[in-house]
Structure 1
Amino acid sequence: MNSILVEKIKNPNVSLIDLEQLKTKTIYIAIFGVGNVGGRLIDQIHASYREILERRDLDLKIFAIANSSHLLLDKEGCSENWRDAIIAQKVGYTLQDVLTYAQENEFDNLIAIDNTADVEFVLNYEPLVKSGFSLVSSNKIGNTIGLDFYRNLRKTLSKHKKEYLYETNVGAGLPLVDTIKLLHLSGENITRIKGVFSGSLSYLFNRFSEGNKLFSEVLQDAINKGYTEPDAREDLCGNDVGRKLLILARELELHNEFSDIQIENLIPKQLRQGTKEDFLLQLKDFDVPFHLKKKNQKKGHVLRYIGDLRGDLSKNDGAILEVKLVSVPRNSMLGQLKGSDSIFEIYSESYGDNPIVIQGAGAGAEVTARGVFGDVLRLSNKLN
């Protein structure tokens, strides 16, 4: 029998409307950052709203949407017309405006989502948690700045009984962070994690290894298709892969800082400075060095840009963290990678020489937004 009707029989003086409202859990969401990922996330939530309400009894209300200069607030939930509505708002706001609005409207079950790439915004995490928000983030910076910040945030989360989910920090929407966290918490001794962490660089080296095109031509193609950051040097310098590697190290409670990572920068020294426009005019400077790297491989090998975490991980004093270009057999797991997929090999004592392998789409705003949405739903289930 329908649970609402059961309650009606038990409590005949309570209206069906009141019972329906008691049954449904309302989640109040504030979204910061409405670029590619943030914008798609809002659209995904709107597209799935009715189904989630009916099937899971979750009412997802986006009460705040903020970009770098505008803030849109609506206690009933921002509409599908949010893009026009946010532009119409006055310029300028502070985080306190959001906190005050939530407090004045007595919202509970609060989630703040960080879809920015802003170093400064992560400083808002602790004030948000102290004001009753749990956190979901696609922004990797909060997990890769100083270890003191990392530890203090977790103490604050524990003290206020709040959650922080960030599955998309590594592998876009792949279930990697949670898998490693569960293995570690269960007492599994992870001995090594290696793989292709960047969907952008996966596409680049998969194409370069298979065909006869110059490296500059493949790179330009990747840029044109939007696989790289607006300035492709952000991918090619290796820092993004390094941050992802550090996040996994810290999930294993290893005492590593970003400065511990050995990163091979793929950008020729003469191209590391200057404007993005200057860089794009000099892509041919990549061709000779990368032609030689490709030519000097063993037969049947291909190039892959990987992250590698290893060492005696049973000790918490840190691990060897490397980001580098390697040559691997074409028929290996790394060598068989296609498209813009990412792949992660997780080695542990129990699994021996046969790693757990997680592979799939490792890049793209749509995939990342879907991963953030998944974190929102997982967190919603935990909230009272």
Structure 2
Amino acid sequence: MKILKFGGTSVANSQNILLVEKIIKKESLQNRIVVIVSALHGVTDQLIKAAEYAAAKDDSYVSIIKNLEEKHLQLVKELIPVLEQSSWLSFVKKHFNDIEDLYNGIFVLGELTDRTKDKITSYGEFLSSNIIAARLQYQNLDCTWMDSSQLIRTDSHFTQAKVHIDLTEKNIQQYLDIHPNQIIIGPGFIAQDEKNNITTLGRGGSDYTAALIAAAIQAEELQIWTDVSGMMTADPRLASHAKPISEILYHEAMELSHFGAKVLYPPSIQPVMTKHIDLKIKNTFDPDAHGTLVSHRLKSSENEKKQIVVGISNMSHIALLTLEGSGMVGIPGISAKLFQGLQHGNINVILITQGSSEHSITIAIHEKDRQAAEHVINASFADDISLKRISPVKIETGLSIVALVGENMKSRSGVSAKMFGCLGNNGINIRTIAQGSSERNISIVISEKDTRKAVNILHEEFFESEIKQVHLYICGTGNVGSKLIRQIYDQNQYLRENLLINLRIAGLSNSRKMLFSDQGISPEDYITWNENGHEASVHDFAQEIISRNLRNSVFIDITASSEIPKVYEGLLKRSINIVACNKIAASSDFDNYKTLKDTARNHNCNFHFETNVGAGLPVIGTINDLIKSGDKITSLEAVLSGTLNFVFNNYDGSRMFSEVVAQAQKEGYTEPDPRLDLSGTDVARKILILAREAGYSLQFDEIENVGFLPEACMLGSVDNFYEKLTEHEDHFKKLWSDAQREGKILKYVAEFKDGKAKVGLQHVSPESDLFHLYGKDNIVIFKTLRYSEQPLVVKGAGAGAEVTASGIFADIIRSV
């Protein structure tokens, strides 16, 4: 014999009930079956809502009851043959008359007791099961209706009745022995106490009814039919890549359901688990789907070997209560006293953890119970609190529990480290940790706003480890930014296939517009993103990134703005990685630079700015590698401006100096204002950054800058700048000719030695490493303790949109 239970969504309306009918017909061809049904979807909630209105003397209950009556009358009209409808319409009306009498009594008394609540909520299952049984009977099926409330006997703890198992099993066995029908249909959720008062079995009561019947007759199988295709590896509303679980052990299913997986309720598993009866979770709306098999032993030995974590569950609206004080240390009975008080307050404890010092005990409960819990705990320890041996209970709200579940976790090392590591790297603070002695569950308490992020991080880590999802927020979509975006689109398939990384552009911003998409801005959407974006501001862009709270996030600054670096610290504190092409942050006041570096380290994220120096050249990376390996930088000599190198490589007196500078700007080698390059300010920033990365505490104003531009060129607008360059052509020609007379060339050189830095125009001889530097190339010559005789040289293109974009791209990959 098989037991089938259909939930509220499965019997929500006549169309769904016809699907249920097909499933019942198919199963009854091969097996004798017992079918347990819930109330029509939403009916129980409406019955309770109406009762609460009545108790509050609000006559809104009348319309709710009328609507429910009409819902059931309409169901009869759609399911029962026309010639047979009269008696069943009368049946519905009669019972709704009884319901109205009950509500009128509640209204008059202004009181709703648990006993009355059980009576009124019982009508939902009673009516649905009778109508469905009648439908099957009129389809000429061998079917009878069973009043399961008379078979399941409980105590008188209304709304949460405890079942008398032995008596209940005896009643069920006797009933099925004398009723040989192929199909037996009954209501779930409802029972009776010793005085024949209606009681209910609490949340998930219909599942429990079905499980009790399955256990009583040692059924071949219990099937729970619902609106999803089994248990999932995570809540699909939070994790879009959640997968169905084909097989799971009883204990694993109980752990998942205890911590929020709503497909099953823990009490419903216990009866069948005890008797090793297989339980299947199936989808009424996709009956051919495999669903989930819950069993005492996995059918597939391969699954048993490979599965470490079977699922991730979560529970929101959690409060943490902490009792602490020196008066708890070494005193027996503290825990017993605490939990006795909670028991008397009828408060369910979800999670418990205690410090090894015995100085504190922390419990997690539903947020709705926090005030009652605070009262009973403080009352239980009133004497200790008055004597200041124990502090009044501390309460934290706005929390969630996230649990990692798997029977095989106990046989694998590193699961906890992996869990905490990936959460920590994404800035999720763990308030409390609990791990059962069975080691099949690791539970954490986190801020509720981090729930979606945490579930996705863990799901990716344990179920989607083949591809890491990275969310990019790009600020600056000009020449370099557009090149980077195109590189990302072009290279993403390679990254997925070879590095197991998927880059998703989740946000774009320029000085005018910003646009966000958690699912990624596609190449097609990028073409018109400016038209669809919202008005932009640096603060709003950063706050939106923080509020979206997506895992593996990278903020990319491809601007020269002095405002954008002001949001870096806030982003780093939320463990959002930063890749900066913008030099301002790394060359700002040393304390600010150090704060950003320390913040990134303290929050387990990355702050990369390789393109601050040398575009795509691995200059900063080389310094970092040298330092990490124990070497020390003793001096640096470099040509760090692709712009200035381009200008002086192309200026020979045959063309105006201003023309060469204009060419450099046109080809994308200069800043928007070329004076930043030609004044040496940009080079000074670069040598400052290199010195700092080499471990020296240097400020910008300590760098000696020997300029070559006439002072008049630095005044006015960019257009005026070009006019002044033309006016001072003789000055530039003299600089060039002086070098030529010495057989040398002009290079703008940055030097760092003995803790001091200097930048300026120099005459470079042919024997120098700086001489053979062409086009827009840069060069950095490192002398270190290890490279003292023969220096380490990094040389290559130091400007240009493509190479700069590629350097930013490399920093992005390093960040994740």
**Shorter-normalised TM range:** 0.7 to 0.9
Compute the displacement of 1:262 (Å).
1.0
Compute the displacement of 1:99 (Å).
4.2
Deviates more, 1:86-95 or 1:142-151: 86-95
Say whether residues 1:247 and 2:683 are aligned partners.
Answer: no
Say whether residues 1:274 and 2:716 are aligned partners.
Answer: yes
Compute the displacement of 1:287 (Å).
2.3
Say whether residues 1:90 and 2:526 are aligned partners.
Answer: no
Compute the displacement of 1:227 (Å).
2.8
CA gap of 1:102–1:149, structure 2 versus 1, over 3 A, is closer
What is the aligned partner in structure 2 of residue 186 from structure 1? 629
Instruction: Indicate conservation of the 8 Å contact 2:707/2:761, yes or no.
Output: no
Say whether residues 1:45 and 2:482 are aligned partners.
Answer: no
What is the aligned partner in structure 2 of residue 292 from structure 1? 734
Structure 2 residue aligned with 1:29, among 469, 472, 477? 472
What is the aligned partner in structure 1 of residue 572 from structure 2? 129
Which residue identity lines up with residue 274 of structure 1 in the other structure? Answer: G
Which residue identity lines up with residue 576 of structure 2 in the other structure? Answer: F
Deviations 1:104-149 (A, max 9, x none): 5x52111111112111111101111122301111111110111111
Q: Distance in 1 between matches of 2:675 and 2:304?
A: 66
Deviations 1:42-87 (A, max 9, x none): 1111111112112221111111111123111111111113141233
Deviates more, 1:358-367 or 1:33-42: 33-42
Say whether residues 1:322 and 2:758 are aligned partners.
Answer: yes
Say whether residues 1:61 and 2:504 are aligned partners.
Answer: yes
Q: Distance in 1 between matches of 2:628 and 2:479?
A: 34
CA gap of 1:331–1:269, structure 2 versus 1, over 3 A, is same
CA gap of 1:207–1:172, structure 2 versus 1, over 3 A, is same
Q: Distance in 2 between matches of 1:44 and 1:8?
A: 40
Instruction: Indicate conservation of the 8 Å contact 1:268/1:285, yes or no.
Output: no
Helix, strand or coil at the partner of 1:141: coil
Compute the displacement of 1:103 (Å).
4.3
Helix, strand or coil at the partner of 1:174: coil
Q: Distance in 2 between matches of 1:274 and 1:100?
A: 38
Say whether residues 1:369 and 2:805 are aligned partners.
Answer: yes
Which residue identity lines up with residue 265 of structure 1 in the other structure? Answer: G
Q: Distance in 2 between matches of 1:98 and 1:246?
A: 27
Helix, strand or coil at the partner of 1:28: strand
Instruction: Indicate conservation of the 8 Å contact 1:116/1:138, yes or no.
Output: yes
Which residue identity lines up with residue 162 of structure 1 in the other structure? Answer: C
Instruction: Indicate conservation of the 8 Å contact 1:99/1:131, yes or no.
Output: no
Which residue identity lines up with residue 528 of structure 2 in the other structure? Answer: D
Structure 2 residue aligned with 1:345, among 771, 774, 781? 781
Which residue identity lines up with residue 649 of structure 2 in the other structure? Answer: N
Instruction: Indicate conservation of the 8 Å contact 2:510/2:536, yes or no.
Output: no
Which residue identity lines up with residue 59 of structure 1 in the other structure? Answer: N
Helix, strand or coil at the partner of 1:136: strand
Instruction: Indicate conservation of the 8 Å contact 1:216/1:286, yes or no.
Output: no
Instruction: Indicate conservation of the 8 Å contact 1:28/1:111, yes or no.
Output: yes
Which residue identity lines up with residue 268 of structure 1 in the other structure? Answer: P
Instruction: Indicate conservation of the 8 Å contact 1:260/1:321, yes or no.
Output: yes
What is the aligned partner in structure 2 of residue 174 from structure 1? 617
TM-score when normalising by structure 2: 0.42
Q: Distance in 2 between matches of 1:83 and 1:166?
A: 28
Q: Distance in 1 between matches of 2:659 and 2:530?
A: 40
CA gap of 1:299–1:124, structure 2 versus 1, over 3 A, is same
Deviations 1:324-370 (A, max 9, x none): 11001124221111111011111123222321111100001111111
CA gap of 1:269–1:132, structure 2 versus 1, over 3 A, is same
Compute the displacement of 1:10 (Å).
4.3
Q: Distance in 1 between matches of 2:636 and 2:546?
A: 41
Which residue identity lines up with residue 715 of structure 2 in the other structure? Answer: Q
Compute the displacement of 1:89 (Å).
2.0
Gaps of 5+ in 2: 1-301, 311-459
Q: Distance in 2 between matches of 1:92 and 1:228?
A: 26
What is the aligned partner in structure 2 of residue 144 from structure 1? 587
CA gap of 1:214–1:92, structure 2 versus 1, over 3 A, is closer
Task: Tell me: higher relative CO, structure 1 or 2? Use CA pairs within 8 A at least 6 residues apart.
Answer: 1
Instruction: Indicate conservation of the 8 Å contact 2:746/2:762, yes or no.
Output: yes
Instruction: Indicate conservation of the 8 Å contact 1:194/1:344, yes or no.
Output: yes
Structure 2 residue aligned with 1:219, among 644, 647, 661? 661
Which residue identity lines up with residue 628 of structure 2 in the other structure? Answer: L
Instruction: Indicate conservation of the 8 Å contact 1:233/1:267, yes or no.
Output: no
Instruction: Indicate conservation of the 8 Å contact 1:201/1:236, yes or no.
Output: yes
What is the aligned partner in structure 1 of residue 602 from structure 2? 159
Which residue identity lines up with residue 757 of structure 2 in the other structure? Answer: L
TM-score when normalising by structure 1: 0.87
Q: Distance in 2 between matches of 1:224 and 1:91?
A: 29
Q: Distance in 1 between matches of 2:468 and 2:554?
A: 13
Helix, strand or coil at the partner of 1:112: strand
Aligned CA RMSD, in angstroms, stands at 2.6
CA gap of 1:93–1:326, structure 2 versus 1, over 3 A, is closer
Compute the displacement of 1:308 (Å).
0.7
CA gap of 1:65–1:9, structure 2 versus 1, over 3 A, is farther
Which residue identity lines up with residue 283 of structure 1 in the other structure? Answer: L
* Number of equivalenced pairs: 365
Compute the displacement of 1:254 (Å).
1.1
Deviations 1:208-234 (A, max 9, x none): 25x744434433433443433333222
Compute the displacement of 1:102 (Å).
5.5
Which residue identity lines up with residue 705 of structure 2 in the other structure? Answer: I
Q: Distance in 1 between matches of 2:638 and 2:538?
A: 40
**Map of 1:106-121 to 2, 5 A cutoff?**
107-121=550-564
Say whether residues 1:302 and 2:708 are aligned partners.
Answer: no
Which residue identity lines up with residue 630 of structure 2 in the other structure? Answer: G
Compute the displacement of 1:296 (Å).
2.6
Helix, strand or coil at the partner of 2:708: coil
Helix, strand or coil at the partner of 1:351: coil
Q: Distance in 1 between matches of 2:792 and 2:538?
A: 44
Q: Distance in 2 between matches of 1:165 and 1:372?
A: 9
What is the aligned partner in structure 2 of residue 206 from structure 1? 649
Instruction: Indicate conservation of the 8 Å contact 1:114/1:137, yes or no.
Output: yes
Instruction: Indicate conservation of the 8 Å contact 1:200/1:235, yes or no.
Output: yes
Which residue identity lines up with residue 688 of structure 2 in the other structure? Answer: L
CA gap of 1:220–1:33, structure 2 versus 1, over 3 A, is closer
Gaps of 5+ in 1: 1-6, 312-318
Helix, strand or coil at the partner of 1:30: strand
Q: Distance in 1 between matches of 2:703 and 2:616?
A: 24
Q: Distance in 2 between matches of 1:152 and 1:187?
A: 23
Deviates more, 1:95-104 or 1:83-92: 95-104
Q: Distance in 1 between matches of 2:512 and 2:804?
A: 24
CA gap of 1:160–1:227, structure 2 versus 1, over 3 A, is closer
Instruction: Indicate conservation of the 8 Å contact 1:27/1:110, yes or no.
Output: yes
Helix, strand or coil at the partner of 1:173: coil
Which residue identity lines up with residue 288 of structure 1 in the other structure? Answer: D
